[in-house]
Amino acid sequence: MDTIWLSISAGSGPEECARAAALTVRVLLRDLQSRPGNGIAVRLIETAPSRIPGNIRSALLALAGEDAAAYAASWTGVIQWIWKSAYRPGHRRKNWFVSVTPYRESLSGPAFSPADVRFETARSSGPGGQHVNKTETAVRAVHIPTGKSAAAREERSQMLNKRLALARLASAFAKEQAEAEKRSCSARRHNHWELERGNPIRVYDGETLRLLGEYVGTGSGGL
């Protein structure tokens, strides 16, 4: 069964966006939990913490199941959160943005073929305790014709890291192709990977925060 990885990122946004990223993960997980029997398995693989406890710069989730692709598509794009910042009293800005990007194993195209990829392994490093540096689980996928590469170390098995690295590499080729199409025809806005703040696919406000029991700005209610 194919795995789809979802990357949730606050980008270079301020701490409010890092809070929005943490809230986006919570909303997504809660949404899946509220749908018993949906056939979608989800794993929170990794989060990168931000300066304020409970906030995150990014997160990586893995989705698997018959409807995983459609569900991931419903989250792909920009998520907009609306609230008045409690971190900076008096600050006028109320809109905070998070990007959600999928990495799919099935991505391919005329410029990319998995048959042209060489895999290199190495010992994982970073968080993970006893699971780190014991076996060569980290993987780098190298596209032999171009030398382009992508790495993965987040999963605990070499097989899953190989699949994630391949998906990231394929996604990079797809992004490059989409950007080329965008340059050749400006009317076709065909870039899923950019943070397009003017066109969010989901918008959450204070009502969602109340449902989560969240008071943004205190640093409470982390993942």
Q: Give the pLDDT confidence of 76-127 residue by residue, as tens digits.
A: 999 999 999 989 988 889 999 999 998 876 555 556 777 888 999 887 665 5
pLDDT reading at 221 higher than 80: no
Kindly report the CATH number assigned to the domain that includes residue 196.
3.30.70.1660
| pLDDT, mean of residues 9-34 | 94
3-state SS class at 130: helix
Q: Locate 216 and state its tokens.
A: 């943004």
222 assigned to some structural domain: no
Residue 148 domain-assigned (yes or no): yes
The percentage of residues in the chain with a pLDDT greater than 90, rounded to a whole number, is 41
How many domains does the structure of the chain reveal?
Answer: 2
Give the neighbor-by-neighbor strand order of the sheet with 138-143.
117-122, 138-143, 149-152
7 with 96, same domain?
Answer: yes
> In terms of domains, do 8 and 87 share one?
yes
Given a cut of 90, whether residue 177 has pLDDT beyond it is: no
The answer to whether residue 218 sits within a structural domain is no
Mean pLDDT calculated for residue range 50-79 = 93
pTM: 0.65
Domain of residue 15 covers 3-104+192-211
The answer to whether residue 35 is domain-embedded is yes
Q: How far is CA 215 from the centre of its chain?
A: 24
d(CA 112, CA 187): 26
Alpha-carbon span 197 to 199, nearest angstrom: 6
Does residue 221 belong to any structural domain of this protein? no
- How many whole angstroms separate alpha carbon 167 and alpha carbon 17? 26
In a domain, 99, yes or no: yes
- Distance in angstroms (rounded) separating the CA atoms of residues 48 and 23: 14
Which residue from 59, 41, 39 is spatially nearest to 49, judged by alpha carbons?
Answer: 59
